[in-house]
Amino acid sequence: MKVSRQNVWEESLIKLGRAKEDVCKPIKVQFIGEPAVDQSGPLREYFGLVNSAAQERLMSQSVFKHNISALQQREYYAFGQLTALGLLQGSPGPRYFSRIVVDYILTGNIEDLMPSIAEIPNHDIKTSLIELEELSNQSTADEFREKASFESGFRFESGYTKPFVTMSDKDEFLRCIALHYMCLCH
């Protein structure tokens, strides 16, 4: 495979889309304009460049970006293929996922994930959830309902659509928002 360093992501997507043969077969990489024959050095460097490009294009603060264009262009799928191909060929793989994203990739089961509010990369959301988490007794139930229901517009973006959030919904509410911002979207 011949690719340029400057356009490694775009060229990799094109070549991956054209690959008719098994993408799990070993590949050899040559960077355009460089004489190096692949004795695994260029291959390792290639996967490092692919990971860096994917991180810039698809990730933000250890979680996947909400990028509909990339989703429609199947870039997330291609990233998964390139990551698997790299791992099969000895690449260490991407090193920038949050713990919860890794757990989701490994298990595929969102029910078992235990998000931590402290790990949410979005500072404003994290601060809001910490404030809500600290409201814990019956005397603050009305305050919780008010803040969670009417002052937390981000809850709809996160997929939490109950019209009113009560103290009995607290754990489910906090978990849903934390999962959204840590694993599913940024």
Question: What DSSP letter does each residue of 21-89 carry, written as one string?
Answer: S-TTS----EETT-----SSHHHHHHHHHHHHHHHHHHEETTEE---HHHHHTTHHHHHHHHHHHHHHT
Within a domain: residue 55? yes
Range of the structural domain that residue 154 is part of: 117-184
Give the dihedral sign, CA 16/21/27/30.
negative
Q: Which two tokens stand for residue 109?
A: 């089961």
Of the listed ranges 24-28, 121-125, 158-162, the least confidently predicted one is 24-28
Computed over every residue of the chain, the mean pLDDT equals: 87
Q: Which of 64, 97, 130 is the last residue of a domain?
A: 97
For residue 119, give the DSSP letter.
G
Same domain, 83 and 145: no
- What is the value of pTM for the model shown? 0.73
Query: Is pLDDT above 70 for 23?
Result: no
Neighbours of 167 (CB within 10 A): 18
Domain count, the chain: 2
pLDDT beyond 60 at 186: no
Q: Give 33-71 pLDDT, tens digit per residue.
A: 887 665 678 888 999 999 999 999 998 877 888 889 999
Is there a domain that residue 57 lies in? yes
pLDDT at 143: 92
Residues in the chain, how many? Answer: 186
Residue at 112 is within a domain: no
The string of pLDDT tens digits covering residues 86-128 is 988 888 888 888 888 888 888 888 888 888 898 888 899 999 9
pLDDT at 20: 65
For residue 108, being part of any structural domain is answered with no
89 lies in the same domain as 125 = no
Q: Which of 40, 63, 97 corresponds to the end of one domain?
A: 97
Select from 23, 18, 86 the least CA-distant residue to 53.
Answer: 86
> Residue 37: what pLDDT?
64
Neighbours of 83 (CB within 10 A): 18
